[in-house]
Structure 1
Amino acid sequence: MAPQYLETAQGRRIAYHKTDGQGPCVVFLGGLKSDMEGTKALFLEDWAKARGQAFLRFDYSGHGESSGRFEDGCIGDWHEDTLAAVDQLTQSEIVPVGSSMGGWQALLLAKARAGRIKGMVTIAAAPDFTEDGYWANFTDAQKDELNTRGRVELPSDYMEPYVVTKRMIEDGRTRLVLRDALALPFPVRCLQGTDDSAVSTATALRLLEHATCEDMRLELVKDADHRFSDEACLRLIAEAVAEVCAQG
């Protein structure tokens, strides 16, 4: 089925698929350079349809079938895309499900739209990764290259190299969520594989310790990798989403 599109206030064209149903609407937030056709997004869409539950998946700008180039984007742009999708395409309560970079986006969404969120699920959440992952691990040569060329390329285990731009690093510093108070006034379930080469269990524990939340749990899955997409992991995702949907 062809996607539908929405236009953002910034002039970006965002591709999406929305399934109507009962609330709260489950909103899948994908990872960096991922798209809405990934295993987890499609699994959750089928799961929501079977329950008669509303569901939304979309591509950030520069991802998938949305407009723009990945190299031109940054965390703030994708936050604006997320706000546009939530504000224009959903009503009442939502349950964001954020995977990797989408976990950071879910936390930014919580800061901007806490009153709309019934609960949240994160999968290998990667908050602040532009600063604590990229910048903190750049060599002096890479930092010089970023400042002179405006970009560096990093190898990836999953696809072609990531292009990291100076704009992405600088914008990321204005979107950090682990330095200041992070109130999550709703149930949160965090899922994390112990064999994740992209996001460490230390990051998951840091988020758990940092956030202020009365009902927040972290589940570590032995030997699960960053994809978190085998049958057992998908079942855990569905269970976590069902649990927060049923709260309250």
Structure 2
Amino acid sequence: MSERITRNGRTLAYNHTPGTGPGVVFLGGFASDMQGTKALALEAWAGGAGRAFLRLDYSGHGDSEGAFTDGCIGDWFADALAVIEGVTTGPQILVGSSMGGWISLLIARERPDLVAGLVTIAAAPDFTEDGMWPSFSDAQRQQIMTDGQISVPSDYGDPYVITRRLIEDGRDRLVLRSPLPLPFPVRMVQGTADTAVSTATALRLLEHADGPDIRLTLVRGADHRFSEPDEIALIERSVDEVLHRLRA
């Protein structure tokens, strides 16, 4: 049963398993929820180790209140912060998948006191500006500015509704245009067959971020879901490696 916390009048759903710290926090992707394969597998892994674990739904996602089309990167960043601050104790290891990678980087930049380490899975920093906006035709750009939204196909089900607010707010949350200090262990994993986030994005993040212990692992043939058993095992090893580096 999901637990609840309220931010700005909206109820956010989360699952928190108590245990030793630093805890692990899973931050999911765009239009995803906390019931995904990676989130549940990591929860089971953390539970087996007796480690605290948190997964959550941003507003408009999963079991949380709100309409998806009302949200933006800034809202979902604030949602994640509200749950982390309200539920966890001490710095956490953030595991950010796709858009969750962007949100985890925003938390690391704005609230480094909350972060003990970071693991990203096909991280998609700045994707609204570098991925979505350039892919739109002139007609689509005009439509989103005049009508406030457009609908675009998705490889994962129903079409995505992309709003003007999502695009414009994203421009205020970019992390690849200004210094990005990551002064803790960071492990990034990326599939070479990912059609949503390119290896060029992963390499750009690796080159841009500033920190003493940052490593990127490329997995040949892995796609954006990164949910095959071997890929899940790599995520778990990456979290374990961050924990080992913290102990050392």
TM-score by length of 2: 0.98
Please give the per-residue CA displacement for 1:118-137, whole angstroms capped at 9, x wherever unaligned. 11000000000000011122
Residue in 1 that maps onto 2:123: 125
* Residues 62-73 of structure 1: pairs in structure 2 closer than 5 A: 62-73=60-71
Amino acid at match of 1:185: P
Identity %: 59
Unaligned 5+ residue runs, structure 2? Answer: none
Distance (whole Å) between structure 2 residues aligned to residue 131 and residue 41 of structure 1 = 27
Question: Does 2:9 align with 1:11?
Answer: yes
Structure 1 stretches of 4+ moved >2 Å: none
Equivalence for 1:211: 209
SS of the residue 1:179 aligns to = coil
1:174 to 165, 168, 172: 172
After superposition, residues 156-175 of structure 1 pair within 5 angstroms as 156-175=154-173
RMSD: 0.7
Deviation, 1:37, is: 0.2
Q: What amino acid does structure 2 have at the position aligned with 1:143?
A: R
- Aligned residue in 2 for 1:138: 136
Q: State which drifts further: 113-122 or 32-41.
A: 113-122
Residue correspondence of structure 1 range 11-30 to structure 2 within 5 A: 11-30=9-28
Letter in 1 for 2:122: A
SS in 2 for 1:160: strand
1:22 alignment partner AA: T
Determine helix, strand or coil for the equivalent of 1:7: strand
Q: 2-side partners of 1:125 and 1:23: how far apart?
A: 24
Q: Which residue is equivalent to 1:240? A: 238
Amino acid at match of 1:5: R
Q: How does 1:197-208 map to 2 (within 5 A)?
A: 197-208=195-206
Residue 191 of structure 2: aligned partner: 193
94, 97, 103: which is aligned to 1:96?
94
Deviations 1:171-217 (A, max 9, x none): 00000000000000101000000000100000000000000011000
Instruction: Give the match for residue 116 of structure 1.
Output: 114
The match for 1:31 is 29
Please give the residue correspondences for 1:33-48 in structure 2 after superposition, counting only pairs within 5 Å: 33-48=31-46
Q: CA deviation at 1:117?
A: 1.2
- Check if 1:49 corresponds to 2:47: yes
Separation (CA, whole Å) in 1 of partners of 2:175 and 2:167: 14
Structure 2 CA distance, aligned partners of 1:103 and 1:220?
16
In structure 1, the residue corresponding to 2:157 is in which secondary structure? coil
Q: Which structure: greater strand fraction?
A: 2
Paired positions, count: 246
Any idea what SS the aligned residue of 1:161 has? strand
Give the Cα–Cα distance (whole angstroms) in 2 for the partners of residues 158 and 200 of structure 1.
17
Deviation at 1:116, TM superposition (A): 2.3
The one-letter code matched in structure 2 to 1:69 is A
Distance 2:98 2:73 in 1: 13
Q: Equivalent residue for 1:81?
A: 79
Listed as ranges, the gaps of 5+ residues in structure 1 are none
What one-letter code is carried by the residue in structure 1 that aligns with 2:226? F
Q: What is the distance in 2 between the residues matched to 1:245 and 1:5? A: 28
